[in-house]
């Protein structure tokens, strides 16, 4: 990293104005739950904007919202120039889905979850949905579970395509969920390859991938066309970049070299003031890609 480089601030877009930037600039986002679920939704959006970001990912914050609640939330985010790029409401705990995509007995329930998320996404002008592959099913062969997951995700992709949305399969490490079907990032990429639907991609979580064996850049190079979103946090501890063992400057540079144009979401637990920590993480990403605009 060039420590003598100056940081070129990216001006905030006016409400309703598309951010400027090259075709393959980093598009940064924030996973909103990392700012503390006890804070009001509007305040967390303000914190994201204060840190210089213009997009967020939601994990069920909207559960139980009325139409008026959606109107207020949308009004606030538009005032701040913030988009919602992704939702993930079908999880009951980290790494665990409410319904299992690898269990044929839960096929209809899983697809009902997808339909419910699509309705929510329409209200939020959002086009991305994170799903899980599901847990191993006792008494069912690994092949049957794998084929079920592929078939159900292909059907989910068809539902998403009708709305112009994308289903994102997240990789999870076995320390977080030892029963998870996709036991590595490579297996998540293989599932998506076998699904073979343009509206089903991988949410490539770098923290989980590092815990599961690393090869972070090699996976990016092999599977660029199947990466629909990237999650950022360091190992160990799931804190901000620079607190652990992952070389994020090299990863950011590789992302832009490969022409990746999806969102890169900060999903870390800040070790200090959340706004200041998010701002520093954003500035470090800018420096890493030689002052390309960040959208």
pLDDT digits (tens, 9 = 90+) for 88-107: 876 555 556 678 899 999 99
3-state secondary structure of 239: strand
Q: In this structure, are residues 1 and 287 in contact, taking their beta carbons and an 8 Å threshold?
A: yes
pLDDT digits (tens, 9 = 90+) for 247-267: 999 999 999 999 999 999 999
Instruction: Give the distance from CA 105 to its chain's centroid.
Output: 28
What local confidence, expressed as pLDDT, does residue 4 receive? 33
For residues 197 and 190, what is the distance between their CA atoms, to the nearest angstrom? Answer: 13
**Tens-digit pLDDT string for the chain (295 aa):** 333 333 333 334 333 333 333 435 799 999 999 999 899 999 999 999 999 999 999 999 999 999 999 999 999 999 999 999 999 876 555 556 678 899 999 999 999 999 999 999 999 999 999 999 989 999 999 999 999 999 999 999 999 999 999 999 999 998 988 989 988 999 999 999 999 999 999 999 999 999 999 999 999 999 999 999 999 999 999 999 999 999 999 999 999 999 999 999 999 999 999 999 999 999 999 999 975 555 6
What are all long-range contacts of 60-63, with beta carbons under 8 Å and residues at least 24 apart? Answer: 60/87, 60/88, 60/89, 60/91, 61/32, 61/33, 61/37, 62/87, 62/89, 62/120, 62/123, 62/124, 63/89
Query: Tokens standing for 99?
Result: 């319904």
- Whole-structure pTM value: 0.88
What are all long-range contacts of 273-278, with beta carbons under 8 Å and residues at least 24 apart? Answer: 274/34, 274/35, 274/36, 274/47, 274/51, 275/47, 275/50, 275/51, 276/51, 277/240, 278/30, 278/47, 278/48, 278/51, 278/52, 278/53
CATH architecture of residue range(s) 34-232: Alpha-Beta Barrel (3.20)
Residues 6+ apart with CB under 8 A from 286: 7, 8, 10, 26, 292, 294
Alpha helices in the chain (DSSP H): 41-50, 67-80, 107-124, 142-161, 185-195, 206-211, 216-223, 248-257, 274-288
What local confidence, expressed as pLDDT, does residue 122 receive? 97
Q: In this structure, are residues 65 and 73 in contact, taking their beta carbons and an 8 Å threshold?
A: yes
For the chain, the structural domain boundaries read 34-232
């Amino acid at each position: 990293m060039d420590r003598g480089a100056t940081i070129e601030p990216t001006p905030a877009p006016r409400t309703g104005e598309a951010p400027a930037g090259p075709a393959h600039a980093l598009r940064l986002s924030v996973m909103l739950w990392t700012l503390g679920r006890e804070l009001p939704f509007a305040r967390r959006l303000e914190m994201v904007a204060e840190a210089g970001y213009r997009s967020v990912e939601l994990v069920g914050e909207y559960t139980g919202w009325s139409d008026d609640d959606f109107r207020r939330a949308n009004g606030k985010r538009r005032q701040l120039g913030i988009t919602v790029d992704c939702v993930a409401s079908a999880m009951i705990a980290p790494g665990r889905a409410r319904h299992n995509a690898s269990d044929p007995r839960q096929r209809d329930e899983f697809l009902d979850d997808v339909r419910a998320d699509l309705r929510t996404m329409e209200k939020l002008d959002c086009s991305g949905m994170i799903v899980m592959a599901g847990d191993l099913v006792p008494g069912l062969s690994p092949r049957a579970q794998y084929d079920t997951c592929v078939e159900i995700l292909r059907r989910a992709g068809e539902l998403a395509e009708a709305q112009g949305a994308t289903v994102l399969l997240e990789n999870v490490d076995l320390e977080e969920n030892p029963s998870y079907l996709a036991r590595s990032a490579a297996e998540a990429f293989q599932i998506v390859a076998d699904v073979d639907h343009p509206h089903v991609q991988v949410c490539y979580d770098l923290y989980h991938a590092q815990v599961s064996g690393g090869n972070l850049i090699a996976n990016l190079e092999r599977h660029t066309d199947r990466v629909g979103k990237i999650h950022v946090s360091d190992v160990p501890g799931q804190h901000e970049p620079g607190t652990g063992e992952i070389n994020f400057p090299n990863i950011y540079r590789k992302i832009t070299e490969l022409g990746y144009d999806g969102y890169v979401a900060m999903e870390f637990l800040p070790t200090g003031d959340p706004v200041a920590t998010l701002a520093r993480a954003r500035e470090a990403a800018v420096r890493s890609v030689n002052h390309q605009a960040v959208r």
